[in-house]
Structure 1
Amino acid sequence: MQAKLETTDDVPADIVRHLSTSLAAFELIIVPGLDGSARHHWQSLWQALFQAEGIPVGRVNQEIWSRPHYKGWIMTLVATVKKSKKPVLLVGHSVGCVLIAHAVKEGLLPDTVAGALLVAPADVENGPEQDISRVAAFSPVPLSSLPFPALVVGSRNDPWLSVTRARTFARHWNASFVDAGRKGHIGNQCDLGYWLDGLMFLDRLAQTVLIEKTGLRRLHKKTLQ
């Protein structure tokens, strides 16, 4: 597939070509967190990128982003995943990551989920005082092992998640931990654009799933560097 994004302001063509191959076996499902993901959020930009490149991608659309409803949010996530026709890679952010962990603990996610990129999971037990009450229904954070490969991405200056807690989540979820540097909460308040590092983390996850679950390497002997 011919890459459509050529400028340095977007995503380099070689990365687009690589991802088009790495992700060909999957459907991506974007799982936003508290307050949703705005148009400039990397999750929204990724969705537009993947759609432009013909990569199947869906999005969990909650009814009210500012007031999370635990049961409603879980059922919306599960219903979205069940619509998928291919193995699913979940791309979660913030409370969206915790939502995925809860759905796993409750045994609600279908076995079509092949992996998850869990970016800046919200520590709903220790988050910012002004917002913690809005996510109280999601506390405590489930610490059950995930039944699929996962990457936990943590920032060194995230008001919602300390590096120590991020590593704790990764350990209990049987996931790999990735240090994203100083990127805040890696969300709406951060000017990350397409967040190229994150695309590389996604590629790493896809390659791990292909190797561990199917034994395939999708034409690549290396992940994006």
Structure 2
Amino acid sequence: MPKRVFIIHGWEGYPEEGWFPWLKKELEAKGYIVEVPSMPESEAPDIGKWVSFLAGVVKKADKDTFFVGHSIGCQAVLRYLQTVDAKIGGAVFVAGWVSLTPMATRTKEERKIVKPWFETPIDFDRIRKTTRNFVAVFSNNDPYVPLENAETYKNRLGARIIIEKDKGHFSGSDEVTKLPVVLKELLGMAKTK
């Protein structure tokens, strides 16, 4: 059965942003089926809508199913995985967060959007039962995601942590159009699952 990868963009993100097209092309060249769905209402992400939408896109997760999340897309993947009973191949989280810098929530509207994402608990114990293949990638100069988030991913999820240099928030505006570390980690997971 072919391996499937779902790349989930972040808040105000879109499928053609930054490094997503490059990663999709690289994986497809190696025989993977890759989907980069346009998540609903990305300007104001809602937990229920995003998790439900992702479940509809994935349909049935299995050991040949892999995920890549970016920013709030990491939370969407985590929250989806806590609803799944199946074993998956693995997940790579890029600039994932459970806390943000004040710069990320400057306005009242931004604080209103992220409040449910902060306050709704994540069942890390349940998520860990889906796979042992978790990697979390952070940047040393992300203006929105403090590096302390790496400890949460490591301690609560058992993720292997990778710190990249000077990648900002890994967005198109940071001119990150390729992210070889994600490709390398996914390919490694696919071989060892």
Does TM, normalized by the shorter one, top 0.5?
Answer: yes
Q: Could you say which structure has the greater relative contact order, defined with CA pairs below 8 angstroms and 6 or more residues apart?
A: 2
Structure 1: stretches of 5+ with no match in the other structure: 1-23, 214-225
Q: Which amino acid aligns with 1:170?
A: K
Rounded Cα–Cα distance in structure 2 between residues aligned with 1:60 and 1:113: 19
What TM-score, normalized to structure 1? 0.71
Number of equivalences: 184
What root-mean-square deviation, in Å, do the aligned CA atoms of Structure 1 and Structure 2 show?
Answer: 2.5
Q: CA deviation at 1:155?
A: 0.9
Question: Which of 140, 144, 161 is matched with 2:124 structurally?
Answer: 144
Q: CA deviation at 1:94?
A: 0.5
What TM-score, normalized to structure 2? 0.81
Rounded Cα–Cα distance in structure 1 between residues aligned with 2:84 and 2:35: 16
- Residue range with higher mean Cα deviation, 72-81 or 52-61: 52-61
Partner of 2:171: 187
Query: Do 1:78 and 1:109's aligned partners in 2 also have CA atoms closer than 8 Å?
Result: no
Q: Which has the larger radius of gyration?
A: 1
Q: CA deviation at 1:176?
A: 1.0
Rounded Cα–Cα distance in structure 1 between residues aligned with 2:30 and 2:89: 21
Structure 2: stretches of 5+ with no match in the other structure: none
Partner of 1:6: none
4+ runs deviating over 4 angstroms: 83-86, 124-127
Identity of aligned residues (%): 22
What whole-Å deviation, never above 9, does each CA across 1:17-49 have from its counterpart, x for those lacking one? xxxxxxx85211111111123534112321233
Question: Which of 51, 59, 65 is matched with 1:88 structurally?
Answer: 65
- Residue range with higher mean Cα deviation, 177-186 or 30-39: 30-39
Partner of 1:120: 95
Q: Which has the higher helix share?
A: 2
Q: Which amino acid aligns with 1:144?
A: F
